[in-house]
Amino acid sequence: MSATKRPTPSLRPSPLLVTLTLAVSTIVLGGCTAVPQNRRVHLADPMMSVGDDPLETYRKQKLYNTREGAAGGDGAASGGGCGCQ
């Protein structure tokens, strides 16, 4: 096979992304006041889990990772596959 040309990296963050990142970081870090455990009753409800349950997470990975070229890259391990789905 003949020599191939590498694509031009295009990883420069957009102003929108920088602004959004700073806004979210400010909100999160600004909330570093400790909430006592006896006031976290609502946070214990399964509906308030910040992530999905493992089966839901796997189902979503299956749906998106094999259909969107931009899926993955989250640093989480995922099983391999032919990608034919």
Partner 1 sequence: MSPSRFVSVLVALAAALLVLLLAAGARADESIFDPSRDKLHLDSFDLALTGYSQRGNGYQSQAGPPGGPGSQALTVWEPMGYFVLKKGQKLTIRILAPFDMVTAASPNAIDKTRTDTISQASRQNEAGSIDTSVTYDVSKRTTGTFRGGIHLEEDFRSWNMGLAGTRSFAEDNTTIAAGANQIYDWFDRFDYRGLRHARTQRGTTSGFVSLTQTLSPTTVGYLNYGLTEQNGELGNTWNAVPLVSNNYGGEVLPQHRLRHAFVARLAQWLPWNGALKGFYRMYADDWGIVAHTVEGQLYQRFSALFYARVSYRFHTQRGADFFRTVAFDDGNFRTADSDLQSFDAHSVGLSGTFTVPQRRIKGLEMQAAYERYFRTNDLDVNVFTWRTGFRF
Site residues, partner 1 (CB under 8 A):
1-11, 13, 17, 20-21, 24-25, 27-29, 31-37, 39-43, 45-51, 53-56, 58-59, 62-64, 66-85
**46 phi/psi in degrees, rounded to 5:** -55, -25
* Residue 16: CB minimum distance to partner 1, A: 9
* Residue 34: CB minimum distance to partner 1, A: 5
* Residue 11: CB minimum distance to partner 1, A: 5
Q: Which residues of 47-76 are buried (b: 16+ CB within 10 A; e: fewer)?
A: eeeeeeeeeeeeeebeeebeeeeeeeeeee
Structure tokens at 85: 């789905």
Please identify which residue in the block is written with the tokens 């979210």: 24
